[in-house]
Amino acid sequence: MRVISIWNPWASLIVHRHKFFETRSWPAPAALIGERIGIAATKSIRPEQLTAYNDPDFQQFYSETGLPELMELPRGCILGTVELHSCEVMTEEFMEEVTEGEKMFGMWMVGHYAWRLRDPKRFRDPIIARGAQGLWSYDDHGVLPIEAHEAGDYSGQSRSASLRPHLQAI
């Protein structure tokens, strides 16, 4: 399974159905459009996360979600999956159609990309994972380099056996 690492609270906002776009400076790989990807919450909390989280405008929208405070959210784990529905180049016209709350939950800049996410499924028990920056692959043994994943190099191991208990979303 391909997974993307996202800082909290944004990772939790996605799996709890409050954030519908992941904003990036790079486009989603075409091969992943229409596929389910994992959403991982990063382990660390960086100063810029705290700054964004503590912004009064952000807090206005975040307080309406019912999610716990930043330090209480799970970290260092895969929280669930989403369907990567499409990827749009951000234009002024496109961003005019985005709600103010969604804008607070992303980095919206003309020329960057909005990955449209659908059908989030939150895991009952998050999967502890070391993770990696950007997109990475997870299998029974944890993180695999994407090249090994694409080549099908799993050393004869089943890819889904240990994921089965987690794939029953709540």
Q: For the chain, give the mean pLDDT.
A: 86
Its domain, for residue 29, covers 2-151
- pTM comes to 0.82
Query: In this structure, is residue 170 part of a structural domain?
Result: no
Query: In this structure, is residue 91 part of a structural domain?
Result: yes
* CB contact at 8 A, 113 and 27: yes
Question: Beta-carbon neighbour count of residue 122 at 10 Å?
Answer: 17
Query: In this structure, is residue 164 part of a structural domain?
Result: no
pLDDT at 64 over 70: yes
What residues contact residue 129 under an 8 Å CB cut-off, 6+ apart?
A: 3, 40, 76, 77, 78, 138, 142, 143
Query: In this structure, is residue 48 part of a structural domain?
Result: yes
Query: In this structure, is residue 23 part of a structural domain?
Result: yes
Over the stretch 74-110, which tens digit does the pLDDT of each residue have? Answer: 999 999 999 999 999 999 999 999 999 999 999 999 9
Q: Looking at residue 132, which CATH number applies to its domain?
A: 2.30.130.30
Over the stretch 26-43, which tens digit does the pLDDT of each residue have? Answer: 999 999 999 999 999 999
Half-sphere exposure of 71 (CA within 13 A, CB side): 3
Query: In this structure, is residue 165 part of a structural domain?
Result: no
Q: Residue 142's pLDDT band (boundaries 50, 70, 90)?
A: low
- Give me the number of domains the chain comprises: 1
Query: In this structure, is residue 137 part of a structural domain?
Result: yes
Query: In this structure, is residue 121 part of a structural domain?
Result: yes
